[in-house]
Amino acid sequence: MAQVMKWGKRLTVFVSLLFLLELIFGYAGTVVTVHGTAIRILLFALSAVLLYLYSFLLVLTEHIPVFSRRRDAVLGSLRFHDWALLLFSFSTALSVFVFPRLSGGSPLLAKNEAFGCLCMLLLYFPIAFLIRRGELSPEKLDRVLRAVLFLFALQHIFLYIGQSAYGGFIGEAFDFLRRIFGENAEFPQIILGHGGYPRVIFLTSIYLLVGVYLVLRRLPKFGVADGLSLAVYLTALLATMTKSVWYGALLGLAAFSVCYAVRCIRQKLGRELMRYAGILVGCFLLILLLNATVFDRMVSVRFLNSFSTSDFSDSLSEEEEEEDELAALDRAGAVISNNIKIEQTKKLLQKWTRRPLFGYGYGSYVKGYLRSYEAPYSYEMQLPALLMKIGIVGVGLLFLVIVAMLWALLRSVKRGGGTVPVFAWLFLLFAFGFTVQTNPLLLTYNGISIVLYLMLITTDLEQQALLHTDSEVGA
What digits encode the pLDDT tens for the residues 99-110? Answer: 999 988 889 999
With a CB cutoff of 8 Å and minimum separation 6, the contacts of 344 are 369, 371, 379, 380, 381, 384
Query: For residue 2, how far is the Cα from the chain centroid?
Result: 37
Chosen domain end from 69, 90, 115: 69
Domain co-membership, 128 together with 222: yes
What pLDDT, on a 0 to 100 scale, did the predictor assign at position 322? 47
Domain co-membership, 147 together with 196: yes
Tell me which range, 342-356, 357-371, 389-403, is most confidently predicted by mean pLDDT.
389-403
Q: How many domains does the chain have?
A: 2
Mean pLDDT of 379-402: 93
Domain co-membership, 281 together with 304: yes
Inter-CA distances, 363 with 97, 370, 385, Å: 10, 12, 10
What pLDDT, on a 0 to 100 scale, did the predictor assign at position 193? 75
pLDDT at 316 over 50: no
Mean pLDDT of 227-234: 96
- Cα–Cα distance, 340 to 337 (Å, whole number): 5
What pLDDT, on a 0 to 100 scale, did the predictor assign at position 472? 54
| CB contact at 8 A, 86 and 79 | no
| Strand residue runs (E) in 24-146 | 33-34, 37-38
Domain co-membership, 417 together with 443: yes
What pLDDT, on a 0 to 100 scale, did the predictor assign at position 252? 96
Q: Higher confidence at residue 333 or residue 209?
A: 209
Domain span at residue 37?
1-69
- Cα–Cα distance, 193 to 197 (Å, whole number): 5
What digits encode the pLDDT tens for the residues 208-223? Answer: 999 999 999 999 889 9
What burial class does residue 3 get, using C-beta atoms within 10 Å of its C-beta: 0-12 exposed, 13-18 middle, 19+ buried?
Answer: exposed
What pLDDT, on a 0 to 100 scale, did the predictor assign at position 468? 62
Domain co-membership, 55 together with 94: no
pLDDT at 475 over 60: no
Chosen domain end from 25, 52, 69: 69
Q: pLDDT confidence of 3, banded at 50, 70, 90?
A: confident
Domain co-membership, 157 together with 295: yes
What burial class does residue 250 get, using C-beta atoms within 10 Å of its C-beta: 0-12 exposed, 13-18 middle, 19+ buried?
Answer: middle
Domain co-membership, 42 together with 110: no
What burial class does residue 6 get, using C-beta atoms within 10 Å of its C-beta: 0-12 exposed, 13-18 middle, 19+ buried?
Answer: exposed
Domain co-membership, 63 together with 112: no
What digits encode the pLDDT tens for the residues 86-143? Answer: 999 999 999 999 999 998 888 999 999 999 999 999 999 999 999 999 898 888 899 9
Domain co-membership, 59 together with 195: no
Domain co-membership, 401 together with 381: yes
What pLDDT, on a 0 to 100 scale, did the predictor assign at position 315? 46
What digits encode the pLDDT tens for the residues 165-178? Answer: 888 898 898 889 88
Mean pLDDT of 272-299: 93
Domain co-membership, 169 together with 234: yes
What pLDDT, on a 0 to 100 scale, did the predictor assign at position 308? 66
Give the CA count within 13 Å in the CB-facing half-sphere of 29.
17
Chosen domain end from 52, 69, 86: 69
Helices (H), 353-444: 382-414, 420-435
Mean pLDDT of 331-356: 85
What digits encode the pLDDT tens for the residues 12-51? Answer: 999 999 999 999 998 888 888 888 788 999 999 999 999 9
Domain co-membership, 38 together with 186: no
Nearest to 79 by CA among 451, 460, 333: 460
